[in-house]
Structure 1
Amino acid sequence: MHMPAQVLSRAVARDATRPALTYYDDTPDGTGERIELSRAVLANWVAKAANALQEGLDVQPGSVVLVDLPAPHWRLAYWALAVWSVGATLTVDTHEGAHVLLTTDPDGELAEDCDEVVAVTLPALARDFGRELRSGVMDEAAELATYADDFVAWDEAEADDIALVSAGERVSFADLLEGLPTAPERSRALVSTQDRGLFVRQVLQLLHLDGSAVLVRGPQPGPEDPRMAAEGVDARCATTWRAGEGPV
């Protein structure tokens, strides 16, 4: 079995400077930004987010964290890895009871049912959420940098603990890498799915296979897109997939 924190640690040990995630925002109202995170930089974001969860929000094995962030997005990737590093359950199903909510809409209906709320801004250069937040809401952009760059979990998840709840499916830590469409080893893969549960598993799989992900949020780029050649994309991950149904 390969726990997510171990997968990331091994990827950094193999080549800390290799890109882990390259993100393009192609949404109509988006920033148009390109962001690249090396494996070492991704691990740094994960460590800070995991410390925020563990120290600031008392998240631990048995806790449930609802992640209301878009896919594919680099912020969703590091928050997912952080939740798993703490040993907690990540859910993208909004009806699942959760202790903590990570969201771009801290005043929305989802926030009413969670004990703790983290307000997440999507643009890379944001230094705060951009408006006043109600008392008790963590401003990720303003506060995450205050947490340590290294993370040590106070408690460890068990293999059969639930790591992910997505589309009604409950996936254990032992099964996070099981049953997915197989990506080539060391591939530079396009990831453009809007399925958040599939997305976080694809990112983990690519790290496990010593690969990297090019994330495109917006219309799926065609093979003639010059950016894909420039990025060295040599594989495309499925955009939809369900157990027993296969990839699309």
Structure 2
Amino acid sequence: MPSRLPARVLADLLADDPGRPRLTWYDDGPGPTRGERIELSAKVVANWVAKAGNLLQDDLAAGPGTTVGLDLPAHWRAAYWAMATWEIGATVVVGSEARGADVLVTTDVDAAAAHDGDAVLVTSAALARSHPDAARAPKAVDEARELSTHGDRLVPVVDPEPADLALSVDGADTRYADVVRPEPDWGDAPRVALRTDLATALTGILSAWAAGGSVVLVHGADDAVDLPARLTSEAVTVDLTESGAESGT
């Protein structure tokens, strides 16, 4: 059977039910977005992916052979940057080597300013219109300001091949042929809860979506939150929130 690539996974979600929620985000961490809940349908995810992919491809000349470092927490914005990178056939780099990638996507102003190549400065807040400290990294793309100017339809210049490198995590490489990992124990159309590191979150999202399902992505820990009750209200069928320690802030 031919390998199923990330772009095909997203296309299948759009064909199945574009309006169904596929990614639900809860921020239980410290900071200005604490308490935020975001719900994205397949159509909304695809819109973000198209805009980010067009920025990468048209403005930063990214494509097969380009490494895109995601210096981000396991966040809903990280999900569409990863999918955009995979749509255009580039390589997502996560972990200790992310800041050495050709393109750096980061929430860290100092990292964006110091990066030798292209950098994208991300603001976590859902309704941000510009990064408050963007002037400190004048060569970086201010995502909150610039992303909305890009098109809602993405046409990759070159499609990835199954043997191309899709994901690199601290030197461990995964080909496009292997990055979508079936999880038969999850069943059909699973509702998967994740609270984990970015690499695990990205592969978990792909696995859930490939099974026609959806994800509840939780960041941080708030003692005031009854997490089991929340996951019950979200109709979660696979709870992986305790499967690994979360990294990033």
TM (norm. structure 1) is: 0.89
CA RMSD of aligned residues (A): 2.2
Whether the 8 Å CA contact 1:50–1:86 is kept in 2: the answer is yes
Correspondence for 1:155: 158
Aligned residue pairs total 238
**Where do residues 127-206 of structure 1 align in structure 2 (5 Å cutoff)?**
127-133=129-135, 134-178=137-181, 182-193=185-196, 195-206=197-208
Name the CA distance, whole Å, in 2 between partners of 1:111 and 1:92.
19
Whether the 8 Å CA contact 2:181–2:203 is kept in 1: the answer is no
Query: 108, 113, 117: which one pairs with 1:115?
Result: 117
Runs of 4+ aligned structure 1 residues displaced above 4 Å come to 179-182, 220-224
Correspondence for 1:98: 101
Q: Does 2:60 align with 1:64? A: no
Whether the 8 Å CA contact 2:72–2:78 is kept in 1: the answer is yes
Name the CA distance, whole Å, in 2 between partners of 1:230 and 1:120.
30
SS of 1:163's partner is: strand
- TM-superposed deviation, 1:27: 0.6
Structure 1, 143-152 or 91-100: larger mean CA deviation: 91-100
Give the unaligned 5+ runs of structure 2: none
Higher share of residues assigned helix: 2
Quick one: which amino acid aligns to residue 118 of structure 2? E
Query: 9, 12, 34: which one pairs with 1:10?
Result: 12
- TM-superposed deviation, 1:69: 0.5
Quick one: which amino acid aligns to residue 77 of structure 1? A
Name the CA distance, whole Å, in 1 between partners of 2:93 and 2:18.
29
Correspondence for 1:29: 31
SS of 2:109's partner is: coil
- TM-superposed deviation, 1:118: 0.2
Structure 1, 79-88 or 182-191: larger mean CA deviation: 182-191
Name the CA distance, whole Å, in 1 between partners of 2:104 and 2:119.
5
Whether the 8 Å CA contact 2:49–2:80 is kept in 1: the answer is yes
Structure 1, 31-40 or 89-98: larger mean CA deviation: 89-98
Whether the 8 Å CA contact 2:5–2:180 is kept in 1: the answer is no
TM (norm. structure 2) is: 0.89
Give the unaligned 5+ runs of structure 1: 242-248
- TM-superposed deviation, 1:59: 0.4
Name the CA distance, whole Å, in 2 between partners of 1:33 and 1:45.
18
Structure 1, 139-148 or 86-95: larger mean CA deviation: 86-95
Name the CA distance, whole Å, in 2 between partners of 1:130 and 1:98.
25
Q: What is the aligned-residue identity percentage?
A: 42
SS of 1:121's partner is: coil
Quick one: which amino acid aligns to residue 131 of structure 1? D
- TM-superposed deviation, 1:178: 3.3
